Amino acid sequence: MAKAMTVAEAKAHFSECIKSAEDGEIVVITRYGKAAAAVVSAKYLSELEDKGKLDAGRRGLAALVGRFNDGDDFTTQIEAVVRNRAASRKTPTLG
């Protein structure tokens, strides 16, 4: 379970945040009552990166960068998405 701290609390108890992260706990830093950041262990961060679950904020097509072996594989995947979307947009005809 994650521990939540305000920015002021995290600043005042920074070494405690680091120790908690080292012990495997996620420390969520809040600002104005909303989650703003998280402190996690370097090991956990590495695991997320290795599993491809960390996209560093990339969205849309940018999130796909580096996930394919070559341009042909990427093209094949995009064409499949386009075909599937086109097929789902077809309206059934009344016969």
Q: Which of 20-29, 59-68, 78-87 has the lowest mean pLDDT?
A: 59-68
| CATH number of the domain to which 34 belongs | 3.40.1620.10
Domain range for 45:
1-54
Judgement on whether residues 61 and 49 belong to the same structural domain of the protein: no
pLDDT at 5 over 90: yes
Averaged confidence pLDDT in the chain: 79
pTM for the complete prediction?
0.55
pLDDT of residue 21: 92
Residues 66 and 49 in one domain: no
Asked if 46 contacts 21 with a C-beta cutoff of 8 angstroms, the reply is no
User: Same domain for 41 and 8?
Assistant: yes
pLDDT of residue 13: 95
Q: What is the pLDDT of residues 37-56, one digit of tens each?
A: 999 999 988 888 777 766 55
DSSP codes, 31-91: ETTEEEEEE--HHHHHHHHHTT---TT--GGGGGTT-SSSHHHHHHHHHHHHHHHHHHHPP
Residue 45 and residue 60 in one domain: no
pLDDT band at 82 (very low <50, low <70, confident <90, very high): confident
